[in-house]
């Protein structure tokens, strides 16, 4: 009898794990390439909203399978150069985009929020197109990412009690991201965040070009107003709203 009960319990656990599986065609990037660094910011308080967004039940990069396989190919090329991709956002539940819109219209703005929007009031972000009620991310075919120099000291960590400079400030003054200096922080709402911004220095421009070139080899297209945003044309059309569950494998 004890053996039967043990078997039933094991079957229940397996069934629960399967119940948290992803919709068809979606995968955890960690299952495709565990070497790609992940810092899924919207699952934490380290983002422009200052809290986890709706639908982010885990800090896991979820993508369409084809997207994951192409990212693996990018990573293999970068690894030979002592570099790695670092994922900031992948699949984004549709409810998270609506959460962003609601946040932008809540009527107040903190100093921490202004780090990401130094020149534009957050109440204007939706009207100006920096925040949208529907995001390409919800298709599973769009990504926010950067590069990490694996030979560098990437040990600095975000301290929520520290008063960092805004996202356009020199890298040593803005909040640490454990990555190369791309000229602005991630999610920086400023013209300096445009991929071809003339206001960045030659080294920063070289890093951006290196990232764009590596991604382009696998068919990814950069969004000109955000150096960190890439998409894979044709890999996703419909938007999804399933929450991101913890990976159980």
Residue 138 confidence class, pLDDT cut points 50, 70, 90: very high
The binding site for Zn(2+) consists of: 137, 144, 229
Residue 142: the pLDDT is 98
Burial (CB count <10 Å: 0-12, 13-18, 19+), residue 3: exposed
pLDDT at position 7 over 90: no
Beta bridge partners of 223: 226
Percent of the chain having pLDDT more than 90? 87
Residues 232-244 have pLDDT tens digits of: 999 988 999 999 9
Residue 236: the pLDDT is 82
The binding site consists of: 137, 144, 229
Yes or no: say if 96 and 53 are a contact pair by the CB < 8 Å rule. Answer: yes
Instruction: Find, among 81, 60, 82, 84, the residue nearest to 72 by Cα.
Output: 84
Residue 2 confidence class, pLDDT cut points 50, 70, 90: very low
Distant-in-sequence, close-in-space partners of 227: CB < 8 Å, separation ≥ 6: 182, 183, 184, 193, 194, 195, 208, 211, 212
Q: Could you give the residue numbers annotated as active site?
A: 226
The dihedral sign for the CA sequence 188, 191, 196, 199: negative
Return the SS3 of 226.
strand
Cα distances (Å, whole numbers) of residue 245 to 28, 37, 105: 10, 19, 28
Enter the pTM of the model: 0.91
Residues 38-95 have pLDDT tens digits of: 999 999 999 999 999 999 999 999 999 999 999 999 999 999 999 999 999 999 999 9
Residue 13 confidence class, pLDDT cut points 50, 70, 90: very low
Distant-in-sequence, close-in-space partners of 26: CB < 8 Å, separation ≥ 6: 62, 63, 64, 65, 91, 140
Residue 18: the pLDDT is 37
What are the domain boundaries of the chain? 27-231
E strand residue ranges, 44-203? 62-64, 83-89, 142-149
Residue 20 confidence class, pLDDT cut points 50, 70, 90: low
Mean pLDDT of the chain: 91
Distant-in-sequence, close-in-space partners of 142: CB < 8 Å, separation ≥ 6: 90, 92, 135, 136, 229, 230, 231, 232, 236
Residue 129 confidence class, pLDDT cut points 50, 70, 90: confident
Q: Across the chain, how many H-helices and E-strands are there?
A: 6, 7
Residue 185 confidence class, pLDDT cut points 50, 70, 90: very high
From the CB of residue 127, how many other CB atoms can be counted at a distance below 10 Å?
10
The dotted CATH code for 27-231 is 3.30.1380.10
Rg for the chain (alpha carbons), in Å? 19
């Amino acid at each position: 009898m004890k053996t039967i009960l043990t078997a039933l319990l094991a079957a229940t656990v397996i069934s629960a794990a399967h119940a948290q599986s992803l919709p068809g065609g979606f995968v955890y990037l960690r299952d495709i390439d565990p070497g790609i660094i992940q810092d899924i910011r919207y699952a934490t308080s380290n983002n422009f909203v200052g809290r986890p967004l709706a639908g982010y039940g885990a800090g896991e990069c979820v993508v369409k399978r084809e997207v994951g396989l192409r990212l693996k190919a990018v990573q293999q090329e970068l690894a030979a150069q002592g570099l790695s991709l670092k994922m900031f956002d992948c699949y984004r539940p549709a409810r998270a985009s609506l959460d962003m819109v609601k946040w932008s219209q809540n009527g107040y703005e903190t100093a921490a929020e202004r780090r990401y929007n130094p020149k534009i009031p957050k109440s204007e972000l939706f009207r100006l197109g920096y925040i949208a009620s529907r995001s390409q991310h919800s298709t599973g075919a769009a990504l926010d990412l950067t590069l990490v120099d694996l030979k560098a000291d990437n040990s600095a960590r975000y301290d929520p009690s520290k008063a960092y400079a805004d996202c356009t400030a020199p890298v040593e003054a803005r909040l640490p991201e454990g990555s190369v200096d791309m000229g602005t922080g991630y999610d920086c709402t400023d013209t300096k965040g445009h991929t071809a911004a003339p206001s960045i220095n030659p080294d920063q421009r070289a890093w951006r070009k290196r990232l764009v070139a590596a991604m382009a080899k696998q068919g990814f297209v950069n969004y000109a107003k955000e150096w960190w945003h890439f998409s894979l044309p044709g890999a996703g059309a419909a938007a999804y709203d399933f929450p991101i569950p913890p990976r159980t494998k």
